[in-house]
Amino acid sequence: MKKWTMPLLLSCLAACQQTTDNGNTQNNLNIAGVNFVEQVKAQTGKTVIPYQKFTLDNGLTVILHQDASDPLVHVDVTYHVGSGREELGKSGFAHFFEHMMFQGSENVGDEQHFKLVTEAGGTMNGTTNSDRTNYFQTVPANQLEKMLWLEADRMGFLLDAVTQEKFEVQRETVKNERGQRIDNRPYGRLNERVSQALYPAGHPYSWPVIGYMEDLNRVNVNDLKAFFLRWYGPNNATITIGGDIDVKQTMALVKKYFGSIPRGPEVDMPEKKPATLTADRYISMEDNVHLPLIYMSYPTVSVRHEDEAPLDVLSSILGGGKTSLLYKNLVKNQIAVQASVSHPCAELACTFNLLALPHPVSGKNLADIETIIRDTLKEFEQRGVQDDDLIKVKADMEANFIYGLQSVAGKVSQLAANETFTGNPNYIEQDIARYANVTKEDVMRVFNTYIKGQHAVIMSVVPKGKRDLIARVDNFTPPKRAITGASQTSADDLVLRKATDNFDRSVIPAAGANKAVDVPSMWQKTLGNGIKVLATQSTETPTTSMLLRIPAGHYYTDKDKAGLVALLASMLNESTTKRSAEQMSNELDKLGASVYISPSDQYLNVNINALTKNIDATLALVNEKLLAPAFIESEFARNKSNAIQGAINNKKDAGYLASTAYSQLLHSDNIAALPISGTETTLANISLNDVKAFYQQQVKPYNAQLIVVSNLEKKAVENTLNVFNDWQGKGKELAITLPKPDTKMGVIYLVNKDQAAQSAIRIGKRSLTQDITGEYYQSYLMNFPLGGAFNSRINLNLREDKGYTYGARSGFSADKFAGFFTASAEVRADATDKSIVEFVKEIDRYATSGISREELTFMRNAINQKDALKYETPSAKLGFLAQILEHDLSPDFVKERAAIVENISAEQINKLAKKHLQLSEMLMVVVGDEKTLKPQLEALGYDVINYSI
């Protein structure tokens, strides 16, 4: 089901901060070339993200949102161009430019964008979809001017820095991204194939956002530059800035850096182009998967069409969780391991998609599943729409919108999207109205209009050699792609736009004084039943988030029954003695609350998110889940069977194979060597009685940890927690040792994955256990320049210089019992041996020669300026407080760590590097095509040992 972005609210949120009249009053900035458009203020009873909107004379739209709750800013630049504005035969350009925009510009050096943002203590990224490309940074507030300088330089001064060499390296990076995310992933080509069949040839949604590699192989750098000149003008962009800002100062900076950038060509809104089908189109493909899959896609409308909202409600009824019809008819009775419905919408078109994966024990093929899905649609027609269907959707809308306001990034991205696609940042209330006004009749109308009796693309994905499982013989073949001739764009064809300035853009703006960041104030208490509580108040949104950690994790179980805690978590998410699983899900949905129980190594985790007005009702349901699980045999059988199928299916994923083999090799024969989710063998050993016995033994409150972030004051939180008073008892204490294994080091363990498009690499060893301010933390600092940041040595080498991978990294990971140093990447299959050579070179060079002075400064700045981002959202606060409770820390540990960062010397770091980065103490795991890789790896001089899991 769609994640709602626009829910119903009945009053102004705390984030609005004030209650004033809304109006388009004139703003008195008096900055030449800056045109005031409107100011939208908070209003009681209305849902508003307050902002001011301006335009520059060159057409750039500027939206500013003030939020002084944290000393940080979020800068988003959205260009109204995605893959939907590419030309036939020139796919992938929009996504390609997302990569090129990080490769330096006229005044920003190669890789310097990453370095400057990271060194400022910030985070950043860029994303591309069919309709827009955006670039964003979250940084401490004193770094705003530097971010505007960076964004302006790549908007107005990029092309001279785009070289053929950079083009070719990033082309390889994009190929690696496609390999990792699509070609080497089970079912990875599903959406690409469906789009080819759904849309007519030449439709801008008929090709994937990442593009076809043959298109990128055929064009040259000037074709890309022409695309930039067409779409990346300021008049096709919106810059949205939110956080701790001064409006007048910020607009002066925007004018300074962006005002002189010339307009680009005029851009019109694209024409809506929903697909139309005159008959069902059956297509299929074989893939390296364990389970077959059927996917039915109906064309519908376009985003914000009047029928989008009722279609979303319909998708919820048919396939939105345990209360849905597909769940009842396919998953609950073990005919399918998974079934869902979605209604994704884009600017030009939307689709209504139904998906299912049959369970092997059911004996059903995809034709059988299609029949059940079509019968379910008939069942809906008879059932109709119930009151709870609408209540749940509107509650989900409200909750998701409020959660989206918990970060300044969430608010900025909402404003930016609304402006880009509607021209109105304050489109929230229109969106709210169209969902709030959905009626039962609307839902039935759209069902009859777009689904009943209509045609779809029906895609079958089956394991290799299993074509007998497809739903129906293919009756559609997409027309052959029209391929243009050789690129005709030359440098002489490009009409460059140059800005004229009265200042020197080559000077990097200095950051202002770093604003103090206060550690959240907190209070601590132990409940009468032994639960340790650590809580803080956060008043930005009317929400309560909790993390309950019960000492009942994976490490408490026997290795022969690995996966037991995962099955227990699944059962606690099922029926209670008072409610069926469907009834429980229905009640939580109507509250707009989420409760998710999951296993980890040491804990059974209960994650709770609720609107504060519903927290008492939500915790009553949590308490019921914990104290009164029904443990129904049929539910256990279904969850166990699904878990076994998941374990088998995981073996189709190279990353899973690599991580699992790596863990097995670096642990002795104990529970830590096995995945938390279990294996096919260990799961088969587990009975419902095993789960019940473990529950009775271990799911107890004594020594559990409860972390709370709420807008409630302490007394109100304490009253809320009284719901747990009847829960009593103490589980067994954890007694485990994880000795180092006698596994042979200095060799390569090769796990076969036939015809893998990429190879997964893990290089490492057992290392330090976790500490907060000791050698483990200091080793984290040591590794930062080697593999702990985007512009680390390893990533720059393998990704940016060589184009072998989409990303490479190294780092230390640990708990109280064991730790690892690991370097990892998923690399092009044909560059596996070369990638290992580069990994070894970088690790050995760093161990031998140590850190540079520049890297030491970079590390200090990057880590010590991150504080503004550590505590912003409830989720971030939960993680911070959980660390304090787990290690019994004083909040002053933050200052102690900052002092370590500031004072650690190059000599100390180099000593740690020599100690912990000895390659002779490490092993390597490689997952890929054994026939091809084994001779190549042996040619490097390594002993290569075949390994299977």
Both 754 and 720 in one domain: the answer is: no
Cα of 710 vs its chain's centroid, Å: 24
The enclosing domain of 299 has a CATH number of: 3.30.830.10
Pairing assessment for the beta strands 133-140 and 123-128 based on DSSP bridges: antiparallel
pLDDT above 90 as % of the chain: 75
| Total domains present in the chain | 3
Give a yes or no: residue 191 inside a domain. Answer: no
Instruction: Say which residue, 428 or 308, is predicted with more confidence.
Output: 308
Q: Which residues, including other chains, have CB under 8 Å from residue 580's CB and lie 6 or more apart? A: none
User: Which residue from 210, 224, 226, 217 is spatially nearest to 100, judged by alpha carbons?
Assistant: 224
What is the pLDDT, as a whole number, of residue 499? 87
What average pLDDT does this structure show over 296-305? Answer: 96
User: Which contiguous run of DSSP H or E holds residue 691?
Assistant: helix 688-698
DSSP 8: -
Report the C-alpha gap between 84 and 99 in whole angstroms.
Answer: 18
Q: Where are the alpha helices (DSSP H) in 232-307?
A: 247-258
Task: Tell me the sheet residues that pair with 760.
Answer: 826, 927
Phi, psi of 529 (to 5 degrees): -95, 5
End-to-end Cα distance, the chain: 35
Cα 875 vs. chain centroid, distance in angstroms?
Answer: 14
- 381 and 427 inside one domain: yes
Element (H, E) at 605: strand 604-611
Q: Amino acid letter at 857?
A: T
The predicted-structure confidence for 695-738, as pLDDT tens digits, reads as follows 999 999 999 999 999 999 999 999 999 999 999 999 999 999 99
Of the candidates 402, 434, 469, which is a domain's last residue?
469
Instruction: Look at 434-448, 800-814, 854-868, 897-911 and tell me which has the smallest mean pLDDT.
Output: 854-868
For residue 4, pLDDT beyond 50 = no
Mean pLDDT, residues 193-212 taken together:
93
Check residue 739 and report its DSSP letter. P
Asked if residue 389 and residue 302 are part of one domain, the reply reads yes
Helix residue ranges, H only, 292-386: 308-319, 325-326, 366-383
pLDDT tens per residue across span 918-939: 999 999 999 999 999 999 999 9
pLDDT of residue 242: 97
754-765 per-position pLDDT tens digit: 988 899 999 999
Domain membership of residue 452 (yes or no) is yes
Phi then psi for residue 631, to 5 deg, are: 50, 60
What mean pLDDT comes out for the span 784-807? 94
Q: Are 556 and 732 in contact (CB under 8 A)?
A: yes
Distance, CA of 445 to CA of 451 (rounded, Å)? 10
pLDDT band at 362 (very low <50, low <70, confident <90, very high): very high
What element of type H or E holds 842? helix 832-849
- Is 18 a member of any domain? no
Residues 607 and 688 in one domain: yes
State how far the Cα of 29 lies from the Cα of 51, in Å rounded to an integer. Answer: 15
Q: Are residues 435 and 332 in the same domain?
A: yes
Considering the domain architecture, whether residues 553 and 654 belong to the same structural domain is answered as: yes
Residue 762 included in any domain: yes
What integer pLDDT is reported at residue 892 of this predicted model?
84
Same domain, 698 and 755: no
Q: Confidence class of residue 315 from pLDDT cuts 50, 70 and 90? A: very high
Are 756 and 875 members of one domain?
yes
Answer whether residue 626 is part of any domain.
Answer: yes
Q: Categorize the per-residue pLDDT at 88 as very low, low, confident or very high, splitting at 50, 70 and 90.
A: confident
Q: How confident is the model at residue 790 (pLDDT cuts 50, 70, 90)?
A: very high
Residue 905 · residue 778 · CB < 8 Å: no
540, pLDDT greater than 60: yes
Residue 319 is predicted with a pLDDT of 94
Given a cut of 50, is residue 17 above it in pLDDT?
no
From CA 782, how far away is CA 913, in angstroms rounded? Answer: 7
Q: Is the pLDDT of residue 18 over 90?
A: no
pLDDT digits (tens, 9 = 90+) for 495-515: 888 888 989 999 999 988 777
Residue 98 forms part of a structural domain: no
Confidence bin at 169 (pLDDT 50/70/90): confident
> What burial letters (b/e) apply to 713-723, b meaning 16+ CB within 10 Å?
eeeebbebbeb
In Å, how far are 775, 897, 901 from 792, measured between CA atoms?
21, 22, 18
> Average pLDDT over the chain, rounded to whole?
92
pLDDT of residue 19: 33
Domain of residue 444 covers 281-469
Tell me the pLDDT tens digit for each residue of 227-259: 999 999 999 999 999 999 999 999 999 999 999
394 within domain boundaries: yes
Does residue 3 register a pLDDT over 60? no
pLDDT number for residue 12: 33
617-648 pLDDT, tens digit per residue, is 999 999 999 999 999 999 999 999 999 999 99
| CA–CA dist 508, 676 (Å, integer) | 48
Residues 652-662: tens digit of each pLDDT: 899 999 999 99
CB-CB contact of 258 with 56 (8 Å): yes
How many angstroms separate the CA atoms of 654 and 643, rounded?
19
Side chain identity, residue 37 = V
> Would you place residue 27 in the very low, low, confident or very high pLDDT band (cuts 50, 70, 90)?
low
- Check pLDDT > 80 for residue 1: no
Handedness of CA 215, 220, 223, 228 (dihedral sign): positive
**Residue 221 pLDDT greater than 80, yes or no:** yes
In this structure, what DSSP letter does residue 220 have?
-
Residues 455 and 396 in one domain: yes
Residue 291 has pLDDT above 70, yes or no: yes
666 & 765 share domain: no
Q: Is the pLDDT of residue 668 over 60?
A: yes
CB 533 within 8 A of CB 706: yes
For residues 662 and 609, membership in a common domain is answered with: yes
pLDDT of residue 749: 98
- In the predicted model, is pLDDT for residue 562 greater than 90? yes
Residue 778 sits in the same domain as residue 898: yes
Domain for residue 633, yes or no? Answer: yes
The answer, yes or no, to whether residue 693 has pLDDT greater than 70, is yes
